[in-house]
Each structure stands twice: as C-alpha cells, then as structure tokens.
Structure 1
Amino acid sequence: MKKINARMVMGFFLFLFGLNVNAQSITKLPPKSIAPYPLEITYFKTTNIIFPSAIVGVDRGSKDVLAQKAKGAANILQLKAARDSFPETNLTVITADGKLNSFVINYTPKPSVLNVSMKERDNKNSIFLSPGLVNKAEVTTYATHALYSKYKGRKVKHRKYGIRFGLNGIFIRDNLMYLRLTITNTSNISYDIDQLRFFIRDQKKAKRTASQEIEITPVHIQNKVTKIDGRSSQTLVVAVPKFTIPDKKYLAIQLFEANGGRHIELSVKNRTIIKAAVLPKLQINRKYTYQ
C-alpha cells in the first residue's frame, strides 16, 4: 500500500511539473508579427511607393528619411534620403483601407528599384486596423454632431484679403478627430475653394523644406462646400485620423482659392489639439463603410 501511495505522489508531482513546463512554453510564444518590407533609398533620386488606398498617416523612424505624398495623388508616397550613408531605420504607413504597412529603410547610392507597388504585395507587410476608422455611417453621424455642437474650445483664426478662416472646435471619438472650421467672406467677391489641406510641419524650416512635412488626409468632410458667396459664411467639419503633434512642430491648415491669390493658413499648436472635446457615444447603423 505504501508503494502504491508513493507512486501516486510521484505521479502527481510529475503531472504538476508537466503543466508548469507547458505553461512556460505557451507564455514564451512570440506575438503575431508582420515582416517589414525592405527598401533602399538614395539622396539624388526619389523612390515612389504606390498604395492601393489613400495614405492617412506616416511615421519615420529617423529624420534621415524625407517623406511626402505626391502632389495630386493621395496614394503615392515619395521618399528620399536627407543625407548619404545613414544607419538603417524604419517607416510606417497607414492607409485608408485600414492597413498598417511596415518598411525597413537602408541607404544605397544606386537603388535597384525606384517604384514599388503595394497593390501586388500580400498581407505579410501589413495588418488591418479597426474597421471603425472608415465606417461611413459612424463618421457622418459624429461629424454632424460636431457641426452643431455648442462647444467652442480654444479658437485659432486668421483674417486676410477679406476672408476670415477659423478653427472653432476640436472633437474626438475613438480613432478619429473632428475639426470644425468656419470660412467667412466679408468681401463682395465670391471665394471659390480650390484646396483644403492639412500638414504637420517643423516650426523651423530646414533647407529642403519641401520634404519636411507630412500631410494628413481627411477621412470625411461634413457640409463640404466649394464656394463662399460674398458677405456670407460657411461651417464644415473635417474628420481625420487622431494625432498629436511632436515638439517643435505644428499643424498647418491651408485654404487655397481657385483662380485667385487669397490663400490663408492656420497654425495650430499641440496645446490646442490635446484639449479636444470627447463626443458622446451614439447608436449608429454600421451597414455602410468606405471602400
């Protein structure tokens, strides 16, 4: 009987030991990861990355990489080296289809490839983000709520050429930020809007200023207007992916007049961004989404 009890006790300890080993092996399993896409860039040539959807966010691992969206093409990112022989770094790009794209960047005097199409790549280099980022019904509902909200917050405004351009409300809900803008035309000449663009810029410009900014692409514009009649005013809400601004940078909001020279820019600092008001949770039909 004692022999049987001894065997049972030994077996029990071996069982516990086995559980402990299995638990340790499970906890040591690496998390799911994505393989970054290797990319080489140079100082004297531009490398173009073509994405299947519009670019909504770019993060550079180093200032040695200059990045900007191609003019007139929201899905093309242009890269160039700020100096030669820089150490290896990385680049992260988020697109409107909900993908995070990862790249490892190295310098070479003569890149073998200057144009890269991500349309033909598989999902090894990208992961899907929350579908709420691009839900049309959700964005429209919250943008409308922000449009009519009585909250004003910290105002940023500028007046020039008889045009008053102002930011009078910043709101946030989940992964999106809603910027409420008012355009007032105090002149008798109508103002035709050509472009409304958003950039994160360095406060102190470098020599190669064209590549020292990152453009933020709007997800949705509520009450989008193309013309401000004389002696009239319009308010709209622009939904963009949430962000904050690093030190020594600012958000530039540019308003361009079509066939005219009345261009206006707002400079928004991070202390204004972080005071965004939280929009209340609303019941929303999620049937329709952006494609």
Structure 2
Amino acid sequence: MKKILLLAIFSLLGIGGFAQTATKEQIVSDLPELEITEGINLHIISPEPIQYVDLSTQKLTGDLPTSNIARIKITDAETDQTGKTKNPIHYSVGENIGIITVVGQSFIAQYKAVYRNSENFNTITNIHIQAEDMQPIEFNKMIFSNLELRKFAMDIIQKKADKNPIREEKDFKLGVQLNNVYVLSDYIFLDMTFKNNSNLSYDIEDLKFSIEDKKIYKATNNQSIEMTPIFQLNPNKHLRKNFRNIYVFKKFTYPNSKVMMIRLIEEQLSGRTIEMKVNYSEILKADTF
C-alpha cells in the first residue's frame, strides 16, 4: 500500500484544477476526529467517486479498494528507501497521527486521525462522509457529480415516456426506443426504452454507442468511434419485458455524413442483436429541463 494515496481522474473529467471557492478556511483543531488503532482498517465511504486522498504523515497508509471507499490503516513500522522494515512505531493514546483529506467530485472532507488503544473494542471500522463534514468545491467548468447526474436522470424518468418516440426499431420480437433527448450544460441525456415481446428472457452482453458513416461502401472505409456513457441510471443485464433507462454523455457533435449507432447485443448462444441509427438533427432537437 502506498503511504500517500493519490488518485487523479481529472484528465478523464477534463478538469485542469480547482477554482477558488467561497467556503470558510479549515482549522486543524476544528476537524472531526476519527479513532484508529493497530490491526483495524478504517473504511471511509463517500457518496460519490473519490478523486483524491491525501494522508499527511507516514504514520498512515491506505488505498482505494473501490471508487467510493478509502481504506486507511496505521503504519506498523518504519521502512527504509528499499522498502525493508526498520523499527516498529509506537503510539500513545490520544496522539494525533495525521490529517486525512478526501476529495470527491463536488466536495472536500478532512478528518483528524487520533490513536486509540487496540484493546478498545468500540473502535469504529467504517464511516460514511456526512453532509456536515463536506465543504463544496467549484471547478473551472460546470462539472456535475454522479449524485447530481442521478438526480437529473431521476427527474427525466419520472416523466411519462412520449407515445411517439424520436426513433424506434423492432426485430426478433425486440424493440428499442429513443424516447427523448435532453441537454443540460455540456451533458446529453438519452431517454431509452427496451422491449422484449417474446417469452424468452434477453441477457444483455453489451449496449454499444458509436458514431459511424451513413454510407459504407467497403468495410475498411467505415470509421467507427465508440462512445461510452459517463453515467447510466440503472445498470441492467437482463431484459424480461420492458426496461427504461437514462444514459448520459458529455456533449458531442458529428457531421451529417455520420450517424449515432446504438446496438443492443445479447449474450451467446442466441445472439439476437438489434440496431438503431440516430441522426444528428435529432440530437439538435434536444429538450432542456
């Protein structure tokens, strides 16, 4: 495990750095305390993906087992430059052993790690970051957190799907509908419904989005650009009857000579595949909300 954990996903989000915020300054004495001891990992659970974790001293070490959980523990012994163990580290009860900083997509939270005796059976093993411990941070560009994207997607899905979808394709007793397209800031939301009119359940291998040429004269001439949603409301791998979902993309454009291709692919052996083409003109008619 690294002594100082730094996970930077800013390049993926297109973030160059933080803008100045109007939040108050933090003082070490005012930070909430987290008790920690030998032999017990402390798990800090974030409501949104963690972008960065800083451990201020070498007395703390940790990692990110998942995108929204930071795992922290006490360093048992000193190590030299080669990583070999040197002398064991001894701690005293109540000792301040470092500051833990957790940065999410829209907040920063800081805690003061305090040593407690390993014989204390009330030592906390996990905490959820609470709203009162979060300080909001602002980015140079409008970036929405996954929590905010989920809220927007829920607002959309609570609306009734239009009886006349923008696009609809049917095959193999399957149906794919593009109910509507919404835009908010630099985000595009696709409201889609999938229908299975057969008695055979559909196990989804993949749902692919790509930008491709409208006219393909030769297979080698086709320039396909795969697109991956940055967020989807409900990850689902099984389609029994009807299923509606929201897929979110960062803003994109493509010329009239190309189309967005949406492919629903079933797991083998059946391998039923259904495709739908979406023209850019239909994306341009997106609603706001």
> Which structure has the highest helix share of the two?
1
Bigger RCO of structures 1 and 2 (CA < 8 A, at least 6 apart): 1
